[in-house]
Amino acid sequence: MNNELVPQPSWWKRNWKWALPVGGCLGIIIFAVVLFTSIYFGVTKIMEESEPYVEAFALIHEDEALLQVMGSPITRDGAVQGSINNKNGNKTAQMTIPIAGPDASGTLYVDAYGRGEIWKYHEITVQVGNQEFDFTDRLKNLKKN
């Protein structure tokens, strides 16, 4: 009788039939998640750094009536939705931004257009429940001075 030990094949040789497809699928899933999150946070950062976003937030932080309804500080409360385009120097921005303060939450709407470095605003409004706060004329007056 022969009592020799038979060498066991390596882990890879024993398991490649399931490890290769599972590893490939897992790699594709991880790649897709990283790509999606990179795009999402990149676009969000571009919108948050845009002049219409910054101007709109500056206006709502200075408005006493809005601060009485929502409380202070007012912050972004979710994902920014919308678009920012720049084609041949003609710029447009349409954003819907969920906002919240300690006392209430609402939605900030920004609709702007521009050429070069100058932005003009069709709409900057905040909707809190059934109340609407319009900042469009106030920003137009600030830009004229």
Same domain for 66 and 34, yes or no, is: no
pLDDT attached to residue 54? 92
How far is residue 108's CA from residue 121's CA, in Å, rounded to a whole number?
14
Instruction: Say if residue 100 is in the same domain as residue 84.
Output: yes
Helix axes 51-62, 136-144, angle to 10 degrees: 110
Percent of the chain with pLDDT over 70: 94
Domain span at 26: 12-49
* Assigned token pair, 97: 């931004």
| pLDDT on residue 144 | 42
Number of structural domains found in the chain? 2
Kindly report the pTM of this predicted structure. 0.77
29/96 same-domain check: no
The segments of the chain whose pLDDT lies below 50 read 142, 144-145
